[in-house]
Copies of this chain bind each other. A is one copy, B any other.
Amino acid sequence: MEGRKMAIIATKGTLDWAYPPLILASTAASLGYDVQVFFTFYGLQLLRKDLDSIRISPLANPAMPMPMPMPVFVQALPGMEAMATSMMKQKMKSKGVASLQTLRDTCRECDVKFIACQMTVDLFEFDKSEFIDGIDYGGAATFLEFAGGADITLYI
């Protein structure tokens, strides 16, 4: 797949939706693709040094397979978001799914280019010192230059 390009726009920051961009980017890169990921909106959470604060919400997520059915008002109780996050992490670990940290490291080792959306950084007042090193900052116009010539472009 030498010479092929993949462009990803990563907009989500929850535990479930943090996986797809990192899995697809690392897989494509290991197949020889030239990959760039543009992190914008809540996707910027994936660039934090510390990924422990990434959570999943069981609320309004009726398609999430749960170990036991639970009424919505129970899902809204204090602590349920933390519990669902902890359960999902344990399940992933027990099933041998790589952590977000490992997938992100694999991306970097495979030369996936990470770009943080400058507009969203300003909007949400993210502190750049909280982000990992070696990333670029840019806007939609810069990213479209790469995406316009990519074989696969995904908005996640």
Beta-carbon nearest neighbor of A14 in chain B: B63
The count of chain A contact residues (Cβ–Cβ below 8 Å) is 65
Residues in chain B near residue A1, CB distance under 8 A: 144, 148
Residue among A63, A72, A151, A155 with the highest chain B CB neighbour number at 10 A = A63
Q: Cα distance A49–B156 when bound, in Å?
A: 27
Number of copies: 3
Interface pair A97/B78, CB less than 8 Å apart = no
Residues in chain B near residue A20, CB distance under 8 A: 9, 11, 40-41, 155
Interface residues of A in 139-153 (CB under 8 A from B): 139-141, 144, 147-153
Beta-carbon nearest neighbor of A84 in chain B: B62
Q: How far is the CB of A17 from chain B (nearest CB, A)?
A: 8
Q: Cα distance A77–B76 when bound, in Å?
A: 10
Interface pair B91/A63, CB less than 8 Å apart = no
Interface pair B91/A123, CB less than 8 Å apart = yes
Question: Which of B9, B12, B80 sits near A154, CB closer than 8 Å?
Answer: B9
Question: Which of B42, B139, B144, B151 sits near A148, CB closer than 8 Å?
Answer: B151
